[in-house]
Amino acid sequence: MRIILILALMLLAPGCQYDPYAHLLTTVRPEPSEVVGRYTLVKQTVTAGDLAAMSDRLCVVELRADGTFSASDVPQYAPGLPGASFLSTLVSAPGSWHVESVGSVDDGWSAKNIWGVHLDSGSVRLQSAGLTGQKAPYGMIFTLGDPDSGQAMFLQRIK
C-alpha cells in the first residue's frame, strides 16, 4: 500500500513536466542514407505568428549523402529559452553532419534514445536537430531551450 501511495504522489507531484512533442521523436536509429534530403520549415512555436513571423526567412537544411550540409536561417546553440530577438539570431552555414543520439525520452518504464542530426559548422555552433517519425521519410525538429516549454521549429523533408 505504501508503494502505491508513493507512486501516486510521484505522478501528481507539482513540477512534473513533459515535452509536448516527445511522441513525435525518432527512437529507432535511422541509417544516414534514410535522412539525406532537403528539409524546410513548416511550423514554428517560438514566436507568435507561426510561419508569418518568419517573414522572408526560409529555414532550410539540406543533408547530402557525402556527409555535408548547407543550412539557412537555423538556430544557433544557446542555453535557456530563446529571447525576444530570436529571429535575428538565426544563421546560415555549411558543414558536415552525422546521425547521433540527441537525448532520451522516458515513458515511465524505460528510457529510449532520441535520434537526430548533429550539424557541425566550424564557423558557428548550431543547434542539433531531433528527427521525427519512426521510419523514412523523417522530419526534423529544433527544440529550443527547455523541451517542456514547447518552443520548437518543425521541418519537413521535401526531397
User: At 5, is the pLDDT very low, low, confident or very high (cuts 50, 70, 90)?
Assistant: very low
Give the list of residues 6+ apart from residue 60 with CB closer than 8 angstroms, or none: 38, 39, 40, 41, 71, 72, 73, 155
Would the pLDDT of 2 be above 60?
A: no
- The predicted pLDDT at position 115 comes to 97
DSSP 64: -
Would the pLDDT of 12 be above 50?
A: no
Average pLDDT of the residues of the chain:
84
Phi-psi region of 50 (alpha: psi -120 to 50; beta: other; left: phi over 0): left
pLDDT digits (tens, 9 = 90+) for 37-64: 999 999 988 877 776 666 777 899 999 9
Q: Higher pLDDT residue, 150 or 159?
A: 150
In this prediction the pTM is 0.83
Contact by Cβ (8 Å): 59, 40: yes
Q: Higher pLDDT residue, 118 or 17?
A: 118
**144: its cell numbers:** 529550443
- The predicted pLDDT at position 9 comes to 37
- The predicted pLDDT at position 64 comes to 98
Distance of CA 31 to the CA centre of its chain: 18
Would the pLDDT of 95 be above 90?
A: yes
pLDDT digits (tens, 9 = 90+) for 13-34: 444 457 899 999 999 999 999 9
- The predicted pLDDT at position 146 comes to 82
- The predicted pLDDT at position 1 comes to 52
Handedness of CA 38, 43, 48, 52 (dihedral sign): positive
